[in-house]
Amino acid sequence: MGTGLLPRSTADHVGLADAVTAHTYAPLPVVVAEAEGAWVTDVEGRRYLDCLAGYSALNFGHRHPTLLAAAREQLARVTLTSRAFGNDRLGPFCRDLAALAGMDAVVPMNTGAEAVETAIKVARRWGYRVRGVPDGRARIVVAEGNFHGRTTTIVGFSTDPVARDGFGPFTPGFDVVPFGDAAALRAALTPDTVAVLIEPVQGEAGVVVPPPGYLAAVREACTAAGVLLVADEIQSGLGRTGTTFACELEGVVPDVYVLGKALGGGILPVSAVVARADVLDVLTPGSHGSTFGGNPLGAAVGHAVVRLLETGEYQARARRLGERLAARLQPLVGRGLRAVRTRGLWAGVDLDPALMSGRAACERLAARGVLTKETHGATLRLAPPLVIEDDDLDWAVDQLAAVLAGA
C-alpha cells in the first residue's frame, strides 16, 4: 500500500489499521464507511444493524437530522473559542442541560473520563472545604465491576486486572465495595468519605442491574453520612433506560450527575458534570478547566441533544422497544442463553459458555448483519440506537436466536 493510497477491501483496511494503530482494541473485521439511523454500511457495501450504538454514544442513531443540522449551522458560525472568552452557545446549553437534570450548574468537558475526573476533583474539594475533612484524607467509595474510564486515577480503582495491570502506581483514596450490597456500602463510609461514585446500572460489566431498592438505600446512606452521591450516567443516562436518567427508575436524585457519550449526539465528544451550584461552587478560576470543554460546536450539538430529550419521545420509545426486546429475549434463556438483564432498550445477555464464546457469537452475528460487542467473555450487550424500527429490532433478535441454534 503506497503512501496516500486508500485501501479498498475489508482485508486491506483491517491490515492497515492493525499495522499502524496500537493494539488497544481487537475489533471485529467490519470496516464501516457510511451510516444512517440504526444502520451502517461497510467498505464493500454490506449493511449491518448497529446494536452497540457506540456504547450508547449513538442513542439518537447515526447522523440524526436535527443534530446534524445543529452541527452544520454551528460550523458556519464559530467552532472554538476556548474558555478565555465567552461564546454564545455555552450559556443556553448549560442552562437547559442543568434544567433537564433538575440541577443548576454544569462543568462542560469532552470525554467521559474527563468528566469523571472532574467529579472526583469536585468531591474532594467539597469534602475539604464544605465537609471539613482534614486535608489530604478524602476518600471515595466505588463499586466492584465499575467502569468509569481509562485515566490512571480511574483505572487505579478498577477491579478489572486487564484495565490496571502495568499502569501503577495509582492514586490513593478509593475504597471498593461489592455492587448491589447496601450494607457493605454503609460499612465503608468513614468520617473521611466525601463521595460515593457509582453507575446506577453497570454498563461495561454487562448491563448489571442492582437489586431493587439498592440505589435508594445508597442515597439514604449518603444523605445520612453527609457525603455526595455521584451517579456516573455516561452510559446509562440520556434515554437509554426509558427515563432520562437511570437513577429515576428507583426514584433517586444524586448530588452529582456525570454525563457523556450520547450528550455529543454521536458527532463529537461532549461530557459534563451537572450538579447543584453549591457543590460546583468549590471550583474557582484556574482550579480546573479544559481547552475544548464548552466549545461552541459541542455546546450547539449538546443543546440539540437536550432538546430531543426534553420532549420525552426518546425515553418513551426506549421503554416501549425495551419491553419488546425483553419479551423476545426471555424465551432464549435455556436455549443458549443463561440469563438476560434489561433496562429500557439495553440488554446484557449471558451466553451459555459451553455453547460459544462472546467473541464467536459476535462474529456469527456480524456475518448475519448484526453488530454488537462482547464484554467479559460470555456476555453480549445489546444497545441499539433508540431510533431503531420495531421490525429491525425483531430481526436482530431473530439473528441471535439463529446463532444460538447453531444456524
Q: Which stretches of the chain bind ligand PLP, using CB under 6 A?
A: 55, 111-113, 116, 147-149, 199, 203-204, 232, 234-235, 260-261
Burial class (CB in 10 A: 0-12, 13-18, 19+), 355: middle
Looking at the Cβ atoms of 236 and 399, the one nearer to ligand PLP is 236
Looking at the Cβ atoms of 199 and 255, the one nearer to ligand PLP is 199
In the complex, what is the shortest distance from the CB of residue 270 to ligand PLP, in angstroms, rounded to a whole number? 10
Looking at the Cβ atoms of 42 and 117, the one nearer to ligand PLP is 117
Distance of CA 270 to the CA centre of its chain: 12
Q: Is residue 232 flagged as an active site residue?
A: yes
Which position among 42, 261, 350, 373 bears the catalytic label?
261
Looking at the Cβ atoms of 148 and 288, the one nearer to ligand PLP is 148
CA distance 325 to 17: 34
Measured from each CB, the residue nearest to ligand PLP is 112
What does residue 287 show for φ and ψ, rounded to 5 degrees? -85, -15
In the complex, what is the shortest distance from the CB of residue 146 to ligand PLP, in angstroms, rounded to a whole number? 8
Which position among 42, 50, 96, 232 bears the catalytic label?
232
In the complex, what is the shortest distance from the CB of residue 282 to ligand PLP, in angstroms, rounded to a whole number? 22
How far apart, in Å, are the Cα atoms of 208 and each of 44, 50, 84, 260, 347? 36, 21, 41, 19, 9
In the complex, what is the shortest distance from the CB of residue 298 to ligand PLP, in angstroms, rounded to a whole number? 13
* Cis check: omega of the bond before 191, within 30 degrees of 0: no
Q: Is residue 261 flagged as an active site residue?
A: yes
Q: Any idea which residue has 474539594 for its cell?
A: 125
Q: Is residue 157 flagged as an active site residue?
A: no
In the complex, what is the shortest distance from the CB of residue 154 to ligand PLP, in angstroms, rounded to a whole number? 8
Which position among 147, 174, 179, 245 bears the catalytic label?
147
Burial class (CB in 10 A: 0-12, 13-18, 19+), 227: buried
Looking at the Cβ atoms of 173 and 260, the one nearer to ligand PLP is 260
Helix (H, G, I), strand (E, B) or coil at 50: strand
- Cα angle 293, 314, 401; round to 5: 110
For the annotated catalytic residues, the residue numbers are: 147, 232, 261
